[in-house]
Structure 1
């Protein structure tokens, strides 16, 4: 039987990490589809005669059943986003380390940008995409970047910029009030997030695939499903 051994040359397993990252992205996209459906339902139901949930001067009226259920949907979206962040950044660290080992080149961006690049204003408009592009070029020199990379990033920026004020500042009750006065911008935000999640999953799959292909050309015993194996004694 083949016995797994550790990756040589500082390479790290990435197949499972890539599957988890892509899966988390698609799951988050699905949750945001549900969120959009709930916002449409709220818009069609119309604002109750008692007015918006937040009525000023610290007064909050009781929520109806549909509004109350939106709180659960919105919370699920937050959980999905957190899972995406954890699995995507974990995967990105691995492929970044592998790209450095495969190419022998120092990454264009220092390691702290893998985290800080998402939250530092202004630079978060380009650094995360730059990190992924740098990893791809180091892993597959001479190959064109996948089209999904730019689609992912453009949709991410649209979602991030249109989401300011909807997600980062407003409470869930204030978002509910927005569905009654004009649901369109919220749905644009939702569509951008869903599209970004799907394109992001394609980016993860493309980069994981090319890096595994590169490993198969470098590792002495080949790559079996993302794990390097050595033959048992006596087996040629």
Structure 2
């Protein structure tokens, strides 16, 4: 006959809590936006480099405006001389244009590094925020045809919104000024296609006004871009815990 258990005998092992009770006892964990997400980290260094290169790009653009009158005079002389002189009308304006290419590439690479890093940090700080565009568009959105007119704006906007609720106006004005600069500067670039004396004469008359509009738009975009980069960088730095660990 089996003896009843002695109620005063301590159990040999502690009772195991039900799964739900065990889960309730665990401290809340940080929810990752992806199966693996790196710890949030500050992009302050990249932010400074982004601002510096944007300023350098703007300085080069101002130099293009300064050399535009000389280039316009050279184009008028080449148009008057005929087809044979079109290719030889190389001025300081063209030299500044050659300098512009490496500056643009450097500014693009560093700015995209800053933006992609800030995007990853924003996802880590607020994994519940739904970004309108994928991570790859921080790089591709600036030059893919058609979508380049609004994808970069959405990427920057969502990084700001996922970073903080202390939003300050200016991002719409920045993007409008940037689009004006892109469209007008592309028009100035097409003026270098000196196919006929007539086309060269038209380009000579329009060069200075076009560069004036492009430079003014870029200066406005630069001022607002500096504020956006500084805001996002500072707000993320405030929210990142010491050591860059996930908050618990």
TM-score by length of 1: 0.74
1:154 aligns with 2:180: no
Q: 1:173 to 1:206 in 2, by over 3 A?
A: farther
SS of alignment partner, residue 51 of structure 1: helix
In structure 2, which of residues 65, 73, 91 is the aligned counterpart of residue 68 of structure 1?
Answer: 91
Q: Is the 8 Å Cα contact of residues 79 and 86 (structure 2) preserved in structure 1? A: no
Give the alignment of 1:109-128 within 5 angstroms: 109-128=133-152
Give the length in aligned residue pairs.
Answer: 204
1:40 aligns with 2:69: yes
Q: What residue is the counterpart of 2:236 in the other structure?
A: 211
1:199 aligns with 2:224: yes
- What is the aligned-residue RMSD (CA, Å)? 2.9
Q: What residue is the counterpart of 1:11 in the other structure?
A: 40
SS of alignment partner, residue 164 of structure 1: helix
Give the alignment of 1:1-236 within 5 angstroms: 10-43=39-72, 45=73, 47=75, 49-51=77-79, 55-56=82-83, 60-63=86-89, 67-105=90-128, 106-140=130-164, 142-144=165-167, 146-167=168-189, 169-171=190-192, 180-182=204-206, 183-215=208-240, 219=241, 221=242
How far off its partner does 1:164 sit?
3.2
Q: What residue is the counterpart of 2:6 in the other structure?
A: none
Q: Which moved more, 1:125-134 or 1:78-87?
A: 78-87
SS of alignment partner, residue 147 of structure 1: coil
Q: Distance in 1 between matches of 2:200 and 2:58?
A: 20
Q: 1:13 to 1:178 in 2, by over 3 A?
A: farther
Q: Distance in 2 between matches of 1:127 and 1:110?
A: 10
Q: Distance in 2 between matches of 1:178 and 1:85?
A: 32
Q: Is the 8 Å Cα contact of residues 99 and 135 (structure 1) preserved in structure 2? A: yes
Q: Distance in 1 between matches of 2:56 and 2:200?
A: 23
How far off its partner does 1:172 sit?
7.0
Q: 1:50 to 1:101 in 2, by over 3 A?
A: closer
Q: Which has the larger radius of gyration?
A: 2
Structure with the bigger RCO (C-alpha within 8 Å, sep 6+) is 1
How far off its partner does 1:123 sit?
2.1
Where do 5+ consecutive residues of structure 2 fail to align? 1-36
Q: Distance in 2 between matches of 1:50 and 1:122?
A: 36
Where do 5+ consecutive residues of structure 1 fail to align? 1-7, 223-227, 230-236
Q: For each residue in 1:134-172, what CA deviation from the matched residue of structure 2 results, as whole angstroms up to 9, or x when unmatched? A: 0111110x222x3332221010111122233322x4437
